A and B are shown apart, each in its own frame.
Chain A
């Protein structure tokens, strides 16, 4: 029997396969494609204190090996989220992490506070790093702010807190350390890479907001470098995100030091990708006589 379980702070995930916020809705969109209970951890689409309509179209652009998005965090707001989205999530037998964002520093702790009495939540992921909202990345590009916001959230919850980091900074390790100092149980990286696309016929930017976030297989090498840097510098677990589309991709991150990983953009075109990746991780372990997947975490030979 192969043990795929991994440890994130006080939590044991049955396997390291998680879903990246904003690519898996509130999970109910995927019931036709996945056995949701087989996923190690589900991270919801971002919830904010107030409802948000999202950005004007055009919101997405396809590029070779990747895509640009500027969705703008549309969501029903924390109160409606609890009423409309939590009942389904509460039926699932896996770890549910609610991804929250505030438009100001207090917004994060406000959302977490509001969710504290709600059952069926394993932890939170703080979205410090959305490039598509005003002030979206300021929480994770200034180490002092990142530490302060994390500490304020830490004060209001005993549940595990993951901080999602942007790669669009000079030193991701510095921000990661600040989050660790603020009391984060783990960091997840990377959020999307700031990007842009221009239509040469009209000479207009393709996205309504001009710039957006670049994701997909194209950003995997960038993500791998950032995850490696974080794993080398932090003592809390690093959860990898960035272009993971198959078990081989995921294994690269685990070897580089990630404890778990999130499957993102691929969910859009291969909605059963999480299932396939989990199965292929098992095959890999079988073939290579690995009894406990955790043993390969950080096993990189330098």
Chain B
């Protein structure tokens, strides 16, 4: 029995970093020193009996020297609102790190990272990992309006930014996938390129098409509802591209993922 997976972290600080978007920094050596980019935590909503399920969050960043880690999240429902209003020094009841992580090909020469909205969450840790490997990075990052961008100065240290907003308040007006298509059309040598994406389902669908069209290996971090996060509830089914009919037709986002080779999963448009 390894008791480290289910444990308590201590909140160090909570900061609003964009519209309805918060960054919680917490102290926990186990998560800080062991988490890999793409993994997630299941966090219990404190003091709220009616909310049963823990909430899954990507691990946004870690500071192993300080034994701290960050999660980045948007306030959507009662659970996330409660988390956003935790006081420093509060205890966080956490489960994790859970799930698999992004996989880096040995031959990777350029990382193309595509994020929609809060889909940016897992990529700070990834960029730190890739910077250590001296991999050049392009970040395609789209949100609704400019006040929803998170941590741009920090991302700019690691990657060339390609920004888009739906309302045109910053960067390209429209979808981030437009920028991605343009970039890949202009840089047609796809050798050594790896694509990583996280964001809303329609965006994943489009990115899958673009990656297939340019024959670039693409990994997606998918988001599903999940009751447990460790394979017991079997609620987080993700349809397989090549199912064994009647036997195995679904992956589990929590155990087989949350990161998948995009060729292996069905993404509805």
List the A side residues contacting B231 at CB < 8 Å: 25, 29
List the B side residues contacting A60 at CB < 8 Å: 225-227, 233, 235-236
Known: A23-B232, A33-B6, A74-B234. A57 touches B239 (CB 8 A): yes
Contact indicator A267/B225 (Cβ below 8 Å): no
A217–B238 Cα gap in the complex (Å)?
28
A59–B225 Cα gap in the complex (Å)?
9
Contact indicator B1/A31 (Cβ below 8 Å): yes
Which residue of B53, B236, B248, B249 contacts A269 across the interface (Cβ within 8 Å)? B53
Contact indicator B233/A33 (Cβ below 8 Å): no
Chain B 91-110 per-residue mask, 1 if CB under 8 angstroms from chain A, else 0: 00001000000000000000
Contact indicator B228/A268 (Cβ below 8 Å): yes
Chain B 1-17 per-residue mask, 1 if CB under 8 angstroms from chain A, else 0: 11101100000000000
Contact indicator A67/B1 (Cβ below 8 Å): no
Contact indicator B225/A62 (Cβ below 8 Å): yes
Chain A 142-183 per-residue mask, 1 if CB under 8 angstroms from chain B, else 0: 000000000000000000000000000000000000000000
* Interchain nearest-CB distance for B95 vs A (Å): 7
Decide if the interface of chain A is mainly helix, strand, loop or mixed. loop
Closest to B252 in A: A74
Contact indicator A67/B227 (Cβ below 8 Å): yes
Contact indicator B50/A64 (Cβ below 8 Å): yes
Which residue of A25, A53, A66 contacts B248 across the interface (Cβ within 8 Å)? A53
Q: Which of A19-34 contact B (CB under 8 A)?
A: 23-25, 29-34
A71–B52 Cα gap in the complex (Å)?
18
Decide if the interface of chain B is mainly helix, strand, loop or mixed. loop
List the B side residues contacting A269 at CB < 8 Å: 42, 44, 52-54, 227-228
A71–B42 Cα gap in the complex (Å)?
21
Give the contact-size bracket for chain B.
35 or more
List the B side residues contacting A213 at CB < 8 Å: none
A56–B227 Cα gap in the complex (Å)?
16
Q: Which of B203-249 contact A (CB under 8 A)?
A: 224-228, 230-239, 243-249
Which residue of B53, B228, B236 contacts A271 across the interface (Cβ within 8 Å)? B228
A67–B54 Cα gap in the complex (Å)?
13
List the A side residues contacting B42 at CB < 8 Å: 269
Q: Which of A46-68 contact B (CB under 8 A)?
A: 50-62, 64-67
List the A side residues contacting B6 at CB < 8 Å: 32-33, 271-272
Contact indicator B53/A268 (Cβ below 8 Å): yes
A24–B231 Cα gap in the complex (Å)?
9
A69–B52 Cα gap in the complex (Å)?
14
Known: A58-B225, A74-B250. A23 touches B243 (CB 8 A): no
B76 at the A interface (CB under 8 A): no
B152 at the A interface (CB under 8 A): no
A16 at the B interface (CB under 8 A): no
Known: A56-B239, A57-B237, A60-B225. A271 touches B246 (CB 8 A): no
Contact indicator A57/B238 (Cβ below 8 Å): yes
* Interchain nearest-CB distance for B175 vs A (Å): 22
A216 at the B interface (CB under 8 A): yes
A35–B233 Cα gap in the complex (Å)?
20
* Interchain nearest-CB distance for B227 vs A (Å): 4
Closest to A45 in B: B234
Q: Show 14 A/B contacts (Cβ-Cβ < 8 Å), sorted by A.
A: A32-B1, A33-B1, A33-B5, A53-B247, A53-B250, A54-B234, A59-B235, A59-B237, A65-B49, A71-B235, A266-B52, A268-B52, A268-B233, A271-B6
List the A side residues contacting B250 at CB < 8 Å: 53-54, 57, 74
List the B side residues contacting A64 at CB < 8 Å: 50-51
A141–B20 Cα gap in the complex (Å)?
49
A127 at the B interface (CB under 8 A): no
Known: A62-B52, A65-B49, A269-B54. A32 touches B5 (CB 8 A): yes
Closest to A32 in B: B5
A61–B54 Cα gap in the complex (Å)?
13
A140 at the B interface (CB under 8 A): no
A265 at the B interface (CB under 8 A): yes
List the A side residues contacting B50 at CB < 8 Å: 64-65
